[in-house]
């Protein structure tokens, strides 16, 4: 009888041990680790990061998996300053992705500006991340470093609409000691993006404002011949600002074209209504 009791206790201990082990294993397995095809090629702060997954949301705010892709790292701290002739590229205009495979979701493609078809290089304009009263306070772009999982960047943005969309960039995971991206570099990456968001949003907003100011001056000066020089100067300034808009907001060329046509007719109302469609407002 005593032997049977001891045997039962022993079996109960083993079962509890197995259950506990399963519980721990289930907890470990609940951590999702996204792997690169080449696990050892996560990139570096000095060059770029190879990200196993890049997610952008569609018009229903559903995250769409765009697969592997490269993002800039340290270069984002000191990007080549863009010029409106396009010769210096778009490094400080938008978040640049170099996808392993070309995105095929129509709604995602609308959000991006293609930089190179050969390398599947696209840009998500920084101006989309500027959300009035939100981007500073809530830190639209965040760096997260969960234990036992991939570190990641995530953010909110608007794409020519009032609804918020989401972005999530899964950073490379390193097995064993060390990591591809340190906490310091991850925070710096997020901070650099927020910095460029503010600059790019100001560029677009200032260009729209200066166009309207010059247009108001042209209308105020009227058709008096003595004001001809001032009017011509304002027109040249307007052309310069439209050139800025075309470069810094290439995804909105249709709305810019309509605004430009309205501007040539001195139609302030239509200029404003088309400018309202070009973020940030």
246 and 204, same domain (yes or no): yes
Q: How much is the mean pLDDT over the chain?
A: 86
171 and 84, same domain (yes or no): yes
167 and 217, same domain (yes or no): no
Instruction: Tell me the pLDDT tens digit for each residue of 39-80.
Output: 889 999 999 999 999 999 998 889 999 999 999 999 988 888
Tell me whether residue 94 is in a domain: yes
69 and 115, same domain (yes or no): yes
Tell me whether residue 228 is in a domain: yes
* Helix 228-248 and helix 253-264, axial crossing angle in degrees, nearest 10: 170
Beta bridge partners of 166: 156
212 and 263, same domain (yes or no): yes
78 and 204, same domain (yes or no): no
143 and 82, same domain (yes or no): yes
Q: In a 3-state reduction of DSSP, which class is residue 249? A: coil
pLDDT band at 222 (very low <50, low <70, confident <90, very high): confident
161 and 232, same domain (yes or no): no
Tell me whether residue 155 is in a domain: yes
Tell me whether residue 148 is in a domain: yes
Mean pLDDT of 13-27: 37
Tell me whether residue 130 is in a domain: yes
Domain extent at residue 265: 200-275
Residue 51 pLDDT: 97
Tell me whether residue 14 is in a domain: no
**Of 39-53, 78-92, 235-249, which gets the smallest average pLDDT?**
78-92
121 and 54, same domain (yes or no): yes
Residue 81 pLDDT: 86
User: 69-72 and 164-170: which strand pairing?
Assistant: unpaired
Mean pLDDT of 138-144: 80
CA-angle at 137, arms to 132 and 143, nearest 5°: 110
Residue 40 pLDDT: 87
56 and 178, same domain (yes or no): yes
Q: How many domains does the chain have?
A: 2
Tell me whether residue 265 is in a domain: yes
3-class secondary structure for 174-216?
Answer: CCCCCCCCCHHHHHHHHHHHHHHHHHHHHHHHHHHHHHHHHHH
Predicted TM-score (pTM) of the model is 0.83
106 and 52, same domain (yes or no): yes
Tell me whether residue 25 is in a domain: no
102 and 167, same domain (yes or no): yes
Q: In a 3-state reduction of DSSP, which class is residue 274? A: helix
């Amino acid at each position: 009888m005593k032997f049977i009791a001891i045997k039962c206790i022993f079996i109960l201990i083993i079962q509890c041990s197995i259950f506990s082990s399963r519980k721990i294993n289930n907890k470990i397995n609940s951590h999702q680790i996204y792997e690169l095809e080449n696990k050892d090629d996560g990139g570096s702060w000095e060059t770029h990061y190879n990200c196993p997954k890049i997610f952008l949301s569609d018009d229903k705010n559903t995250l769409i998996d765009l697969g592997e892709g490269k993002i800039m790292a340290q270069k984002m701290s000191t990007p080549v300053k863009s010029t409106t002739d396009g010769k210096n590229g778009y490094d400080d205009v938008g978040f640049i992705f170099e996808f392993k495979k070309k995105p095929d979701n129509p709604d995602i493609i609308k959000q991006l500006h293609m930089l190179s078809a050969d390398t599947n290089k696209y840009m998500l304009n920084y101006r989309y991340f500027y959300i009035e009263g939100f981007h500073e306070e809530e830190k639209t772009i965040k760096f997260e470093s969960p234990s036992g999982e991939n570190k990641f960047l995530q953010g909110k943005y608007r794409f020519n609409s009032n609804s918020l969309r989401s972005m999530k960039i899964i950073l490379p995971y390193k097995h064993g000691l060390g990591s591809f991206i340190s906490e310091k570099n991850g925070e710096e990456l997020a901070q650099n993006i927020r910095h460029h968001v503010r600059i790019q949003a100001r560029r677009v907003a200032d260009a729209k404002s200066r166009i309207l100011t010059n247009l108001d001056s042209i209308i105020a000066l009227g058709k008096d011949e003595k004001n001809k020089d001032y009017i011509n100067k304002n027109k040249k300034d307007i052309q310069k600002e439209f050139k800025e808009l075309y470069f810094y907001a290439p995804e909105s060329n249709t709305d810019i074209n309509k605004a430009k046509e309205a501007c040539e007719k001195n139609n302030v109302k239509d200029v404003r209504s088309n400018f309202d469609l070009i973020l940030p407002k």
